[in-house]
Structure 1
Amino acid sequence: MLRARRWFLAPLVLALGVLASGCDGSFDSIDGDDGPPPPVTLVVSQAWVHDHQGDGSGGGASGGAEVQARLASLQREVGRLRQETRTGWVGTQDDVTGYLADLSGGSWAGTPAAFMDDYGPALFGTDSSVIRLGEPDSVTVPGIVTTSATQAVGDVPVQDARLVFTARDARLTGVRGRLFPDLTVSTTPVLTAEQAQARAEQISGGRATSAPSLIVLPRGAGVLAWLVTVAAPADGGGTTPLTGGDYYVDATTGDVLSVAPVSGEGRVALPTFRPRTVATRRAAARSVGAARAGAPDPRDVEVTGTNPIGGELKGHGLQTDNGVALVDTTTPWYDAATGDGVIETFDAAKVRDSSDLPGKRVVSPSTTIRDGEEIAAHALSRDVVDYYESLGRDSWDGQGGTLRSSVHFGPSDYCNSMFTTSTNPPQMVYGNPCTTGDGAQEVTEVEIDTAGHEITHGVTDTTAGLKYTGQSGALNEAFSDYFGNVIGNRVKGTDSVAIFEGGCTGYTAETLFCTRNPDGSLSLRYMLNGNDFDDYLRVLDPGFRLQYLGYSGQDHGGVHYNSAIWNNALWSIRVQLAKIDNEPGNDSPLAQAFDRAVYGALATRLGPTSGFLDARAAVEQVIIDSQLDPVVLRVAREVFDANKICAGCPDTGELGGDPVYTSPATQLHPVVSGDSVAWLDVSGSDDIFGYAASTHLGGATPTLGSRSDVVEVGFAGDALLTFDANGRITRYAPDGSSTLLDQPPANDAVAAGLAGSDAGGAWVSAQGVSYVDAAGQVTSTKIGGLQGDTVTGLGAGDGIVGIGTDGGKVLLWQPGSAPRQVGQLDGAVIDVAAYGEKVVAVDDSGTAALFTTDGQSFQLSGSATPFGVTMNDQYVVWAEAKGPLKAGVAGGVSNYPDTDLYLASLASGKIYDIVPEGGQQGFPSLSGDRLVWQDAAFGGDDVLTAEVPDDL
């Protein structure tokens, strides 16, 4: 129904001289008479240009004055570098900062520090004084020296701020990464580390696993925060283990600024908002005998046992007075003085939550280990680190760190394994063999592909640091799949295309984890799955509130599903290279060289928010830098092109509206009032809380609030309302002033959500429900007759408030009078909208119904989703389930619904599918005829808008 111009995210390309010529009104001839076109020297971020062009200064297609000035500066400085070095440097603009994210293609004689002092201010926003250079690495990419540099304010590191310099023969050949200019925050904390730890433990109900550390969050002039890693307890039922969380505690105010998961698997521990007793940390003592540094402990013995999938396994243990402990001190990086650098295995059978990991050290009465999962975890860990050692990496972290494993973690329906950094040291955790109501689903979780996959998450965490959401999360999963299979094939001596086939040993029928492959075998995944970028699963991030209410997080934006795209591309390249050598992958020199190039890209060229195109560029550049056989680059480029991992190649389809904001960050739950739009901007370091972002329609540059702990945003007239992780409702007036309106019971406020509209906003308060009108006047009321129900949905509009409960009650409240019940649904009410004398409610069974004050009710849908509902005086708009979401990566259809925005006309009674485009759409908001919503069309969470016709 709604149509708008199509928005392409292919990067803009500027040629040398074009921008400068545009400034004085002259352009080179395009008729071919003046010779070939000038070389491309700057790849412009269209996302950055779009987000900054509306500064009111004009500037035409190239943007406003700010955009023109930045692009001119970048172009001029790249041109100077090209001229001075007489080499072909090309810069790529960063989507976030607007400075460069990549500089390559040339050669410059000098050190990284000297380069930054000369070119850094113009190209990366700062000079060498704010970066801390690490030790040069000449091993990861043969023939190339890579040097990592982290940004710091004083001695405090800046989150996600890093550059990687590449050099050959003492000449700089590339710079990649992101720095944040103008960070001036004081690095002297007001809050002590002990106070920050107590705050994080209190709000999470968990236990800190290491001493807090200071970090600067790169917003504005910077925010100084304590980073506290917390291991979380089991959920309320005491059965499902949770992963831990990284809690960022403001070092001045003590507020929790954000929370981020610390492993790719499981569920992050969300704040409970309830006071908890601060748990006493437990000290874990390691009993390792004294030995000469650099040599194994003299008590080392060989241990053996039976692999759960068949065959014998061997490893190393320590002979102690109590038996043989599964501690391997024969690693090259074992330090006898500290006991670090070992491989050790624990039994977590009696561990009930992750805060009690690792469990009990495995000690056997003899050198024969009777428990197959214990010997497998121990022996396979050594196989994984041996592989990475062959690439020049010292253990999983590159620093010779201890690799610890725990087996038998959680109940038999935990069905998972993970590498978690919520423990100290970080470690592998294996669940028991998965059993569900349908019976056994696998032989074991402890299998070489799984070990390689999960431990590679630790490698990624200590190199690229790829965030676990959207495209970066899909890459995170895919690199683990790739190296899990490479290592698995190497250990087993096979040339398998399947992942985790060992866990399916003996199975002939499909199970939850053992699915049929094209060759008839069973495995968890298959690398040559045939998926390209057009098969991307476009799912929304439902946000904190719905996860709090128990709804699916949709696989962090489909990271496991979408990993299939990168898997297919990388393994296709590897297979073709092995065919050229006429050798299996384990023996093919070309395939082995490509493996090293993929590792080099992961370890030296990618950052936390890298996407598929970044990963392609990184792999190709490492191939070039490593001076591999030209056939490797040719095959890689052909396969990447065929898989549509190229600028402008993916087909995003027709869009249902105009983009309001499409930056790489995640945008959640947009709201509109007049021509103002706001949303929750989830930072790259956090997929739970975020910043209140706002803009005016028409291209104005969005502004971000100063706090990163916002849970929900809404409007009350022209004023912006926020609800934050510390339980505060704050009103921000158009003049920039702020008022703390309330600090309600946070659990109740999260469950109900923050309702907003161009007339006023509402929230659950200690008094019951509170409402603030456009002028800032607050009214509160008690809600009678709930009979034990909890408010789980709120909606506001035209000066009234709609209320829904987990018992299905639907109420209407006109501030100044008492709430009254106007309807009843069978399920728990999740979403509510209100306008005039009407309330619309959506329950967890999919029913969407309209209720009026005169007792009438109308069912609008039986297939509504919990992705929001909105209304005005003419229409109701909600997210309708259209059946399973189709995507090649999901085997055709996924577990998640395809959702469209549906509109019901209150005048005609007709229902329309107004946004039928591919991917999920949800969380609509109406103000007059202006509709905004959250859309997954670009493979992320973006804000779109359109005008609704007034004659439907």
Structure 2
Amino acid sequence: MRTHRIRRILAAGVVAAATGSVLLTVPAQAEEPDTPSPVAPRMTQGLDKDAREGTPAEAARAHLEEHQDTYRVPVEDLATQRTTKSGDQSSVRFRQKHRGVPVFGAQYAVQTEAAGDGRQRVTSATGTLFPELTVSTIPEVTEPNARQRMYSLDRAVAGVVGATTEAHGLTVLPGSDGGRLTWHFTVRGAAADGSPVRQEVFIDAHIGGIALSYNNIDAAGAAPAQGTGVKVDGGEERIAVNEEADGSYTLVDSSRAMYEVSGGQIRTYDAARKNYLDVAYGPVTEDVRVVSSPDDRFDGSATSSGAVDAHVNAGKVYEYFKNEIGRDGIDGKGGTVHSVVNVSAGGNDYANAFWDGTKMVYGHMDGVPLSVGLDVVGHEMTHGVTEHSAGLVYLNQSGALNEAISDYFGNAMETADKGVAMSDPTSGLGRRVPVQRREAARGVRAA
């Protein structure tokens, strides 16, 4: 999970923890927050014995409502964001609101499994909810005044070159004091040394002070570098990596055009055989580490896990969309591309790969990581592009179109990379992963 350097402007107030989304209240001048706000359970399992009627979203909402004594947040404060499916399993994501205002970092995902006859069994729920919010959501400072105060008070944005400001409206920052109502702005541009800035600033909507300000670009202590990656087929390839402050190297690519615009990177993680259900859905968690090496050569486990291939292929897919389609990344806004490799199914090979709504997840088939196939990687990343653009529901005809679009682009990327003409009779065949394996691996996939 990303670590942000947080600037403390006011002596009192709410700041974001450097790890995760929990917000904390700390004493004046404190460097590290240490007292978490009250939160609902981060994970629950086994609360429901019987399956529930309805869609996954209906079953998930009924589950949350029935167990409000556990989650401690009224179900009417939870807005359904989206549902992603993987075969019989679904994940329904909710965003907490306080009196209609979004709560910073407050999301919950409820996992369900089809039980037949239109019924769903809730298997688990994970995330962060804040049950003790009491702050008034009526602002006393207008948004234009808050923007003006931001530029006069926050030195981090006052010196930004070519600054552009995006307003996100009201946001509640949770804290043990009942929370703070804020106006949220994003300031983009460059620092005096030329490094990219994407400053997230929250102005207190009641008193006008800065409640929270941090640079949302993960570049502190790291520098773009070049390394060597050994792929599963034994080939070596120069790859873009980061050199960390301690002298180690990570599979973090800051060389793409999106980095200068939005701080977007290509980041590759090793799940170390964690169960795919523990990894899928939502941001990459702290226990899933970005792939690292003591020097600039990535081989050994970085090869066998499929991390090097995933890193290389994600870069190729990014460039294909950028150069051929004119699209900056999966979300079209230069957002970071996350790939998690080396997941398992109960300790055994997980013969699948899928887009889970936020990232790519890859398993192995017969010991071979599925990230070796550029057409597989292109297929999964295209599912993300479709979700962020056409939004085709992964069901019936729209689901078939969703899948067909990913098939087309995955294959087009593979043939383009190999220099095979589309008129060649073999252009429709997968080249890294045999066709029958590729199709088998697509038997279960998130939209």
Q: Please report the TM-score for the alignment, with normalisation by the length of structure 1.
A: 0.25
Larger relative contact order, structure 1 or 2 (CA cutoff 8 Å, min sep 6): 2
Q: Please report the TM-score for the alignment, with normalisation by the length of structure 2.
A: 0.50
Q: Name the larger-Rg structure.
A: 1
